[in-house]
Amino acid sequence: MNSPSEAHQPPPIGMLAELTHRCPLQCPYCSNPVELTRKREELDTETWQRVFHEAAELGVLQVHLSGGEPALRQDLEALVASCAEHGLYSNLITAGVNISRARLEALADAGLDHVQLSVQGATAEVNDHIANLPGAFDKKLAFAAEVTDVSLPLTLNSVIHRANLHQIPDLVELALGRTGLRDAVRAIVARDEVEHGKPAPDLYLKAGELLGFAAGEMLAFEDSLVGVQAAQAAGVPVVGVPTMGQDGFAPDFLFGSLADPVLQAWAAAL
């Protein structure tokens, strides 16, 4: 019998789906197991589709499609479509070296929500050495440009270690330029720039100061109780997508899922 604390555990927010262990890169720090699953032993399309359905029923909001390199799955479009069918926000975690423009567009048409591109270094010399794949860096840059060109959100993911530690500033600059954040972000407020963090209103008040907006002219998006409390304390209307299952979560606008069509329309209009 479950204990009271176990009975009231909130559902998981996200799910990591390792679709394959196959990968064109050979990064020495890879988290894949030493004993890799062979292609013929991978879960088939129907099984993954059932898993996504069950995940959505459980309350999962987002699925991270990973590997290995998930684009080596010939059924990736079908798996993305299955996520969309069940209202799951899909994030493709990829090396970005083997996805053509045509296939990227097909994935977007299937309902892909986001792309996360792995980058091993900020220069071709460092990146290609760590990935053990000549030409990988140039392919990644070209792929990043195509992702933003088809209007998919893009983030860059880098594992930091002694071989690329010296490139952290360059990696940040690369991310700002390639993801479009340099043009989209007008102000960033760090925790050490204000006296109090959430649920105090300091972060929102500082953001309004930097942006030149009054509280009523801004709109906040939060998924946590302390975030909602911070925005409301600053007088900023807040949209909430409850992912933490916390008591007292009462934003000005409430949506049960990131896939809610009204919320999607709002996001598209911003």
Q: What pLDDT score does 13 carry?
A: 83
Q: What is the CATH number of the domain that holds 108?
A: 3.20.20.70
Q: How far apart, in whole angstroms, are the C-alpha atoms of residue 169 and residue 164?
A: 10
| pLDDT over 60 at 189, yes or no | yes
Domain boundary among 184, 203, 222: 184
Q: How far apart, in whole angstroms, are the C-alpha atoms of residue 222 and residue 219?
A: 10
Whole-structure pTM value: 0.73
Q: Could you tell me the residue range of the domain that residue 226 belongs to?
A: 191-269
The pLDDT of 128-154, averaged and rounded, is: 95
190-233 residue pLDDT tens: 778 899 998 999 999 999 998 899 998 988 888 788 888 999 99
Q: How far apart, in whole angstroms, are the C-alpha atoms of residue 42 and residue 177?
A: 37
Q: What pLDDT score does 238 carry?
A: 87
Q: What pLDDT score does 205 carry?
A: 94
Q: What pLDDT score does 34 carry?
A: 62
Whether 70 and 108 share a structural domain: yes
Q: Confidence class of residue 37 from pLDDT cuts 50, 70 and 90?
A: confident
Whether 196 and 158 share a structural domain: no
Whether 69 and 142 share a structural domain: yes
Whether 61 and 180 share a structural domain: yes
Domain boundary among 145, 167, 184: 184
With 0-12 / 13-18 / 19 or more C-beta atoms within 10 angstroms meaning exposed / middle / buried, residue 180 is: middle
68: left (phi over 0), alpha (psi -120 to 50) or beta: left
44-67 residue pLDDT tens: 999 999 999 999 999 898 999 999
Query: What average pLDDT does the structure give for the chain?
Result: 87
Domain boundary among 150, 184, 218: 184
Q: Confidence class of residue 260 from pLDDT cuts 50, 70 and 90?
A: low
85-123 residue pLDDT tens: 999 999 999 999 999 999 999 999 999 999 999 999 999
156-173 residue pLDDT tens: 999 999 999 999 999 988
State how many domains the chain has.
2
